[in-house]
């Protein structure tokens, strides 16, 4: 039997810890509005669903046991986070790569999806953290149930960050100066997360 009273608080805490996707969600809401951020969130949850599928077919164990496979994924995540952070810094106040003044929601969805699937810490949530709560004799279905519960909590946490971005946006469209400040902060955080991922091993950062 799943120990929901232990799993839910632990998973909720993990989902709430600031990570690359959560920072993007807050930034998207602040600079382009709730609709843009929610579409971005859909991309993130799709990415997590893809990771869940990967783990369900057993590839998560490969990443746990293969140093080379894990390192390839880790450095892909590093490269993407640093690239995303740098481009956000370079385009601060003008919309990041692929964005227009009005903001194309598909860009947010694509960016959050890529951020989710290139983050090895997200993979390890599904491959290492969740299996700890599978009871003795549990099946793949049990793991899927836990994974879906985590994805739901991730969605709830994301809306908290989106709400924070909405508060920053309150009062109408942000000025160019305010957008530049948010973009610079977001870019710096993304680069820092990429550097952190480069210098840490398999343990440490949050998934999202």
Q: Is pLDDT above 90 for 163?
A: yes
Neighbouring residues of 202: CB distance < 8 A, sequence distance ≥ 6: 70, 120, 124
Summary count for the chain: helices (H), strands (E):
9, 0
Listed residue (112, 125, 148, 114) closest to 207, CA to CA: 125
Listed residue (193, 144, 186, 190) closest to 165, CA to CA: 186
Mean pLDDT, range 162-187, rounded to an integer? 78
Neighbouring residues of 91: CB distance < 8 A, sequence distance ≥ 6: 97, 99, 183
pLDDT of residue 40: 95
Q: Exposed, middle or buried by CB within 10 Å (0-12, 13-18, 19+), for 42?
A: middle
92-111 confidence digits (pLDDT tens): 766 544 454 446 889 899 99
pTM of this prediction? 0.75
Whole-angstrom distance, CA of residue 170 vs CA of residue 181:
16
Whole-angstrom distance, CA of residue 99 vs CA of residue 11:
33
Q: Is pLDDT above 70 for 204?
A: no
Whole-angstrom distance, CA of residue 171 vs CA of residue 208:
29
Top pLDDT among 110 and 172 is at 110
Q: Exposed, middle or buried by CB within 10 Å (0-12, 13-18, 19+), for 182?
A: buried
């Amino acid at each position: 039997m799943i120990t929901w009273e232990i799993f839910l608080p632990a998973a909720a805490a993990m989902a709430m810890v600031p990570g690359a996707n959560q920072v993007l969600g807050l930034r998207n809401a602040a600079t382009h509005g709730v609709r843009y951020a929610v579409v971005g969130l859909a991309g993130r949850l799709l990415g997590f669903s893809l990771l869940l599928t990967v783990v369900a077919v057993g590839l998560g164990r490969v990443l746990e046991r293969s140093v080379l496979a894990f390192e390839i994924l880790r450095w892909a995540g590093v490269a993407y986070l640093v690239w995303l952070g740098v481009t956000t810094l370079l385009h601060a106040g003008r919309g990041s790569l692929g964005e227009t003044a009005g903001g194309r929601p598909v860009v947010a969805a694509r960016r959050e999806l890529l951020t989710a699937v290139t983050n090895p810490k997200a993979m390890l949530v599904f491959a290492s953290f969740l299996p700890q709560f599978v009871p003795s004799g549990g099946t793949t279905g049990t793991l899927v149930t836990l994974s879906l519960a985590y994805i739901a909590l991730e969605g709830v946490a994301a809306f908290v960050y989106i709400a924070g971005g909405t508060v920053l946006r309150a009062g109408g469209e942000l000025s160019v100066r305010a957008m530049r400040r948010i973009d610079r902060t977001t870019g710096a955080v993304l680069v820092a997360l990429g550097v952190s991922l480069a210098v840490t091993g398999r343990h440490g950062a949050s998934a999202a």
